[in-house]
Structure 1
Amino acid sequence: MITFYDCATAPSPRRARMILAEKRVDVQRVEIDLRNGEQFSETFRAVNPACTVPVLVTPGGEALCDNASIARWLEEVYPDPPLMGVDPLDRARVAEWLWRAEFEGLMAIMEVLRNSSKAMAGRALPGPHAVEQIPELAERGRARAQRFLDVLEARLADTPWLAGDTFSVADIAAFVFVEFAGWVKIAPGAEHGALASWLEAVRARPSASA
């Protein structure tokens, strides 16, 4: 049995949930209450000392503690449908757009939220260590996120999915970025028509509600 440590309201585990749903993998789900600090409990630290979710524990007992390792393991063990490319160039495109969605998108919103939210005071970075907020990083993150919406618009005006003709983990990461951005009042505008069509297509997939 696969055990999946989740938090229904957090963006990072949502990415893994969507992959699990796309690949139709059944798991034993354990909800971790981030709002009340359950990730810092001794019980969860024994699973992941970094105190973050998602975590996927394989049937062999190996704990995979980030989206990169979870996605790679699932792709290898459950190759159908492929979500990380089917040939060298396809896999390279997926890797490029996944990195951009993470670095230019998700990290930018994390900068905004963790450096501006009162609830995140002293927790500007995920994990067990106290890190003070830097308000200037919130301002920078907001500008980065807005620019990335324009990057997505330009790309999706030319191709149905970020890596080409096939839905991939890059689309999942970018979709979670756009929805996460709404938490800090950043959203596509009227000028983002291609992005809006892509969002509609992703939201129509069953995995979007996983």
Structure 2
Amino acid sequence: MKLYDCQMAPNPRRARIFLHEKNVDVEKIEHNILGGDNLKETYLKINPWGTLPALELDDGTIIREAPAIFRYIEATNPEPNLLGNNPKEAAEIEAWERFSELQGMGAIGEFFRNQMEGLSGRGLPGPASLEQIPALVERGKKRAAWYYEQIDQRLGESEYIGSDRYTAADITAQCAIDFANAVGLPTPETCTNIARWHKAVSARPSAAA
């Protein structure tokens, strides 16, 4: 299998961590998002959406987006379980994983994409030409603050985010929070529960994937 990847971006990192936790080896093909590699004709023939990651199976099938890659890899490599051992746990994990995707990565994306010079005319992922909206930078900052509050509260109730063990919900939050810190949205010092959790998840070998 081949993973169309971008080392600097949080969504491809989600896939890399998930694959590492599953002990699944794939060929990684790097694409520089800031350089527009994902919008070149060669990549758009593979994934017309122009987004990363994408997983190419041995039969040529392309699976787009990290959550879909999670589902395929979990189904074909069920251990260790990362998406839930029963319907209740699976629903809880998916709810928190989705929360980090929409409210965490969504907020950080607003903040980052609408001020980055290299993303001029690319206010949203994909091949559509969409101008940056500077007002969304401040909105993204406010959304990120609320996201941090919610995750810190959750981690005051549970050792991990989606369950009592490390799961996909932690992977997505881990990637969102690390990217937020890298682009100028640091975790508030008051979020001591996040700090405790972040130390634990960052110590996992998959964090370096």
Once the two structures are superposed, the pairs formed by residues 1-210 of structure 1 within 5 Å of their partners are 2-210=1-209
CA distance in 2, matches of 1:192, 1:181: 14
The farther-off stretch of 25-34 and 180-189 is 180-189
| Matched letter for residue 32 of structure 1 | H
CA distance in 1, matches of 2:42, 2:151: 40
Using the TM superposition, give the Cα deviation of residue 120 of structure 1 relative to its aligned residue in structure 2, in angstroms.
1.4
The farther-off stretch of 166-175 and 31-40 is 31-40
CA distance in 2, matches of 1:35, 1:124: 12
The farther-off stretch of 39-48 and 96-105 is 39-48
The farther-off stretch of 156-165 and 30-39 is 30-39
- Secondary structure of 2:107's counterpart equals helix
The farther-off stretch of 133-142 and 100-109 is 133-142
Long gaps (5+) in structure 1: none
1:118-160 CA-to-partner distances (Å, cap 9, x unmatched) read 2211100111111011111111111000111111111001101
CA distance in 2, matches of 1:104, 1:35: 23
What is the percent sequence identity of the aligned residues?
38
1:89-110 CA-to-partner distances (Å, cap 9, x unmatched) read 1001001101110111000000
* TM-score normalised to structure 2 length: 0.97
CA distance in 2, matches of 1:102, 1:110: 10
**Runs of 4+ residues over 4 Å off in structure 1:** none
- Secondary structure of 1:30's counterpart equals strand
Long gaps (5+) in structure 2: none
Between the two proteins, the alignment pairs up a number of residues equal to: 209
- Secondary structure of 2:93's counterpart equals helix
| Matched letter for residue 39 of structure 1 | N
Using the TM superposition, give the Cα deviation of residue 198 of structure 1 relative to its aligned residue in structure 2, in angstroms.
0.2
CA distance in 1, matches of 2:110, 2:35: 21
| Matched letter for residue 181 of structure 1 | A
Using the TM superposition, give the Cα deviation of residue 60 of structure 1 relative to its aligned residue in structure 2, in angstroms.
2.1
CA distance in 2, matches of 1:99, 1:30: 26
1:16-38 CA-to-partner distances (Å, cap 9, x unmatched) read 00000000001111111223222
1:63-84 CA-to-partner distances (Å, cap 9, x unmatched) read 0111121111011001100110
* TM-score normalised to structure 1 length: 0.96
CA distance in 2, matches of 1:190, 1:57: 41
